[in-house]
């Protein structure tokens, strides 16, 4: 092995070890730590982040990458060596382009932004938050300038989350999806009363729900010997190592609220468990992209967990713990978990209307970053757009422009990943179903072949490709909303009968 490449792998390992420590601290903070531990934890986390940044942005990494550029050309781009160098270069470039003072300033503005956002949401008043958001937008505009872009500043931020993604591409895909989605939403909106989920509301023992959730993880193939499930205020997944994957869930006001959180995080967890352990700590030892990660969570949460064959199999497990639901048929469960509500709150949105929330956020943050929308005008523009799409405006900023945590930090460019996750998941399923065994399994409620296919095609390839490259390699084309639209159309036309 080339000596410079070996050195690069050593540095990557060092970064992974720091990341490992940060991951464990972060998990512990959300699962176990008393709130009074926060000051020390924040300091420890910032220290590790600073160390990692120093190592990654060091001149030594720059020199190694320089030295390796000739050697790299002799390697295939999707070989372990070629992909490792490319990924390391991408991380290095981003780390050195943003000046240290700007990184520090963004970190400060994020913590202040978060605290102010909490207070503003409590008071339901955007005006309290506006000055902080103004500052956050300015800083992210500076970051976009520092990172560089061809067409528009927002492209630089998008690329942080999904390599190669461009705002014009996002808008094009979103327009196609929206054009197909709106007639469906309008048709369902006329018949909302046709689906009833009241039997899922009420009081259900959390202890029994817990057991049910563990069974759900077993059912989708999550290996609980190599991971675990805990509770936290906001569900999340931390993959420390393929043999140690932590998931969290939370109980909500319906019986299936925790179940779908668990299935969602379980999908993320399957990806993390499926990464090759021998690549751990190398530049390619991670998932290909956030959008691809989200395709796996949404696959198990929605495409599987909200399917009829899943309920044909899983209903008996639910009624085992909750015999009071014995009179409810598979059909009752299937319809109830697919009930459309037209919620104005993104995190409570159903599968059909979820993406409408993303279209709105993407378009507004793109305009803010590109300097076409003033922060002070945001609530008015938000409320107007919501009224046009949902038929009613938010009654206050808390259920409007202040509802999401994302804009209280420096995450602009992240929202589109959610919808791309949905789109990718159906493109992958369409491709996977060409295999007889996968298709037959999915009809029969046996999702093992589907899980195996994802492991081979997606998980095992880890970071050899960017998300969009992997999508194209596996499905033969780039982001295409048609399979997703066809799936939604079939499902909701049947359930709502129009």
Phi, psi of 196 (to 5 degrees): -120, 130
Residue 84 or residue 297: which is nearer to Zn ion going by CB?
297
Q: Which stretch binds Zn ion (CB under 5 A): 31-39, 163-171, 296-304, 426-434?
A: 296-304
Number of alpha carbons in the 13 Å side-chain half-sphere of residue 371: 8
Nearest-angstrom CA–CA distance, 219 and 53: 40
Residue 335 vs 357, nearer CB to Zn ion: 357
- Let me know if 348 is exposed, middle or buried by CB neighbors in 10 A (0-12, 13-18, 19+): middle
Q: Which helix (H) or strand (E) holds 74?
A: none
Judged by CB under 5 A, which of 295, 296, 297, 410 binds Zn ion? Answer: 297
Cβ at position 272, least distance to Zn ion in Å: 12
Q: Which range touches Zn ion (CB under 5 A), out of 5-13, 186-194, 292-300, 342-350?
A: 292-300
Q: Is residue 295 part of the contact set for Zn ion (CB under 5 A)?
A: no
Q: In this structure, are strands 227-231 and 244-249 parallel, antiparallel, or unpaired? A: parallel
* Contact criterion met (CB below 8 Å) for 299 and 457: no
At closest approach, how far in Å is the CB of 418 from Zn ion?
8
For Zn ion, the closer of residues 273 and 297 by Cβ is 297
Structure tokens at 369: 């970053």
Q: Which residue number, 256 or 297, has a Cβ lying nearer to Zn ion? A: 297
Tracing tokens 């160390």 back to the chain, one arrives at: 51
Minimum Å gap between C-beta 236 and Zn ion is 8
Q: Is 101 a catalytic residue?
A: no
Number of chain residues interacting with Zn ion (CB under 5 A):
1
Residues 105 and 135: beta-carbon distance below 8 Å? no
244 token code pair: 């140690």
Query: 195: which 2 tokens?
Result: 């689906």
DSSP strand pairing (244-249 vs 237-241): antiparallel
Nearer to Zn ion, 95 or 160 (CB): 160
Stretch that binds Zn ion, among 91-99, 291-299, 312-320, 360-368 (CB under 5 A): 291-299
Q: Smallest gap, in angstroms, from Cβ of residue 495 to Zn ion? A: 24
User: Which of 288/297 has CB closer to Zn ion?
Assistant: 297
Q: Can you tell me which residue has the tokens 């530049």?
A: 283
CA–CA separation, 103 and 268 (whole Å): 28
Residues 6+ apart with CB under 8 A from 365: 154, 407, 412, 413, 415
Nearest approach in angstroms of CB 350 to Zn ion is 16
**Segment contacting Zn ion by CB under 5 A, of 42-50, 134-142, 293-301, 318-326:** 293-301
- Taking CB positions, which residue lies at the least distance from Zn ion? 297
The residue annotated as part of the active site, out of 81, 162, 265, 272, is 265
CB of 268 to Zn ion, least distance (A): 6
For binding to Zn ion (CB under 5 A), which residues are involved? 297
Task: Indicate which residues carry an active-site annotation.
Answer: 265
């Amino acid at each position: 092995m080339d000596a410079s490449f070996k050195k690069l792998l050593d540095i990557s390992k060092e970064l992974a070890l720091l990341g490992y420590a940060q991951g464990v601290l972060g998990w512990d903070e959300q699962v176990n730590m008393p709130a009074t531990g926060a000051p020390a934890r924040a300091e420890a986390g910032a220290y590790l982040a600073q160390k990692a940044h120093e190592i990654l942005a060091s001149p030594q990494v720059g020199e190694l990458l320089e030295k390796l550029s000739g050697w790299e050309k002799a390697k295939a781009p999707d070989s372990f060596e070629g992909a490792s160098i490319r990924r390391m270069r991408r991380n290095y470039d981003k780390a050195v382009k943003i000046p240290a003072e700007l990184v520090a300033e963004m970190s400060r503005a994020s913590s202040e932004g978060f605290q102010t956002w909490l207070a503003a949401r409590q008071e339901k008043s955007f005006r309290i938050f506006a000055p902080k958001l103004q500052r956050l937008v300015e800083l992210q505009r500076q970051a976009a300038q520092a990172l560089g872009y061809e067409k528009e500043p927002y492209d630089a931020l998008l690329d942080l989350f999904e390599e190669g993604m461009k705002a014009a591409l996002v808008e094009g895909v979103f327009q196609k999806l929206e054009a197909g989605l709106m007639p469906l939403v309008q048709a369902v909106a006329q018949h909302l009363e046709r689906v009833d989920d009241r039997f899922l509301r009420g009081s259900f023992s959390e202890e029994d729900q817990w057991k049910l959730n563990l069974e759900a993880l077993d059912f989708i193939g999550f290996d609980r010997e190599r991971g675990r499930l805990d509770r936290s205020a906001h569900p999340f997944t931390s993959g420390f190592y393929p043999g140690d994957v932590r998931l969290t869930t939370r109980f909500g006001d319906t019986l299936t609220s925790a179940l779908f959180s668990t299935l969602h995080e379980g999908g993320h967890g399957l990806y993390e468990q499926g990464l090759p352990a021998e690549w751990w700590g190398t530049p390619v030892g991670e998932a290909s992209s956030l959008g691809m990660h989200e395709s796996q969570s949404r696959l198990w949460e929605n495409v599987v967990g909200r399917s009829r064959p899943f309920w044909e199999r899983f209903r008996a497990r639910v009624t085992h713990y909750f015999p009071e639901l014995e009179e409810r048929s598979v059909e009752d469960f299937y319809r109830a978990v697919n009930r459309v509500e037209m919620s104005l709150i993104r995190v409570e949105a159903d599968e059909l209307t979820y993406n409408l929330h993303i279209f709105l956020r993407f378009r507004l943050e793109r305009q803010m970053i590109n300097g076409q929308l003033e922060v002070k005008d945001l609530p008015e523009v938000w409320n107007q757009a919501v009224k046009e799409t949902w038929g009613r405006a938010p009654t206050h900023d808390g259920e409007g422009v202040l509802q999401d945590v994302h804009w209280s930090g420096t995450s602009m460019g992240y929202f589109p990943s959610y919808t791309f996750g949905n789109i990718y998941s159906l493109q992958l399923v369409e491709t996977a179903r060409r295999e007889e065994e996968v298709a037959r399994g999915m009809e029969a409620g046996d999702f093992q072949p589907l899980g195996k296919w994802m492991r081979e095609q997606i998980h095992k390839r880890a970071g050899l490709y960017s998300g969009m490259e992997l999508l194209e390699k596996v499905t033969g084309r780039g982001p295409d909303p048609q399979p997703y639209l066809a799936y939604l159309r079939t499902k909701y036309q049947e359930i709502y009968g129009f």
